[in-house]
Structure 1
Amino acid sequence: MRVLIVEDELFLAEAIRDGLRLEAISADLAADGDIALEQLAITGYDVVVLDRDIPGPNGDEIARLLSQRPLAPRILMLTAADRLDDKASGFESGADDYLTKPFAMRELVLRLRALARRSPSSAPPVREFGGVRLDPFRREVYRDGRYVALTRKQFAVLEVLVGAAGGVISAETLLERAWDENADPFTNAVRITISTLRKRLGEPWVIETVPGVGYRMSDPAP
């Protein structure tokens, strides 16, 4: 899952981003409405965490713009207001869910995962390929019926690969999808994560390296 956090309070925005990273959710930041619209134009997000009171186009305006686009990301509106009228106007603007400040990080994560499952552009909640069954909502992975314990980052990488259903995914794309926009493009984190992920999944190897191109899921012969 990839999330855009639109929040002008830098401390809060960074805290949300860091908390989401611990849950293997990639998150980018936008401090105002103009920056948010720029990032939304060039990057595909699953959910936008949108503060209602931001400089530039405010949260309601951005929500209205996104609601007019096909396959737009889901919107989780943040606000300090807890009045029913405020929530009603937020939903009327196009918000899919509403969270009042202050909030618990755990609740935010649960709401984001629920919204991502409802996204029209997302893959089905449970994904299967090559004997690997991945449940993004329960954060569970099985290989040929055997439960496989993965770290958050291993899970995020596998989720991208399984979602490609055998298509080749470059290391750069994995960095973008499973890490975030600030990931070092020269890091060997992808190679190391793929190596440990292969070992966790066991033989026969289900993740192939395509030299000079990237990685893909294979479907081992029975």
Structure 2
Amino acid sequence: MRLLIVEDEVELSNSLKGGLEKEGYAVDCSLDGEDALFQLEINQYDLVILDLNLPKVDGLDVLKFIKTYSENTKIIILSARVTVEERIRGLEEGADDYLVKPFDFGELLVRIRNLVQREFVQRPTLITFGELILDTNKKVVKKNNKELLLTRKEYGILEYLVFNKGNVISAEEIINHVWNDDVNPFSSALRYHVSSLKKKIMESFDVEVVRTIRGQGYIIDEESDK
């Protein structure tokens, strides 16, 4: 899942980015509202962590932009504005959650996880595809209680394909959701991770669930449920 942190406190922004990347998320950062609008125009984000007190463009204006042009993107307001009226206004403008500074990082993680799992439809935490089970809480894949060890990127690719099962997903779309802006979209990074993912699944479980559609992308077939 790809996240955007919109926070003008550099130390807090860097700390959140590091912590969330350790949890397997792809993370971009904006230090002001103007750059946030730019990032939102060129990238797709599953969730935005949004401060309200921003330079150049106010956080509430960024919030309105997100709800107008990217209604499926989840939003957590992270702000020192603590009055009930301010919290109500943020939620009325379309935010999905509101966390007051200072906050506990563990609580933020739970709120992110809950919102992402509610994206589009309520997804179960255990998703079966073919003979395998994807555990979205533990971020592991298993078969008959045997767990497959994947890197964060390998798991992210597999999870996104499972969530979009039956559809051919382009390399560009996978990169947009699993990587941050640091990746070169023309590099061989995605092909390398997909190849490694397919090899691990075959060696551990002797099944093929991810198919490459030449010139189009990758797919997990609907038939893998049967």
Q: Report the TM range for the smaller structure's normalisation.
A: 0.7 to 0.9
Contact 2:6 2:49 in 1 (8 A): yes
- Using the TM superposition, give the Cα deviation of residue 174 of structure 1 relative to its aligned residue in structure 2, in angstroms: 2.5
- Quote the residue 1:73 is aligned against: 73
In the alignment, structure 1 residue 204 sits paired with structure 2 residue 219: no
Count of residue pairs brought into register by the alignment: 221
- Quote the residue 1:89 is aligned against: 89
| Alignment deviations for residues 108-130 of structure 1 (CA, whole Å, 9 cap, x no partner) | 2221111112233x673444433
TM-score (norm 2): 0.80
Contact 1:6 1:29 in 2 (8 A): yes
d(CA) in 2 for partners of 1:215, 1:68:
30
| Alignment deviations for residues 76-123 of structure 1 (CA, whole Å, 9 cap, x no partner) | 111124444443333233322122223333322221111112233x67
| Alignment deviations for residues 25-78 of structure 1 (CA, whole Å, 9 cap, x no partner) | 122222222332333234332211100100233122333444456734221111
Alignment-mate amino acid for residue 89 of structure 2: S
Secondary structure in 2 aligned to 1:162? Answer: helix
In the alignment, structure 1 residue 216 sits paired with structure 2 residue 211: no
d(CA) in 1 for partners of 2:224, 2:107:
39
Alignment-mate amino acid for residue 88 of structure 1: I
- Quote the residue 2:123 is aligned against: 124
Alignment-mate amino acid for residue 153 of structure 1: K
Alignment gaps of 5+ in structure 1: none
Contact 1:61 1:93 in 2 (8 A): no
Contact 2:25 2:178 in 1 (8 A): yes
Q: What percentage of aligned pairs have identical amino acids? A: 36
CA pair 129-81 structure 1, distance change in 2 beyond 3 A: same
- Quote the residue 1:115 is aligned against: 115
Secondary structure in 1 aligned to 2:34? Answer: helix
RMSD over aligned Cα atoms: 2.9
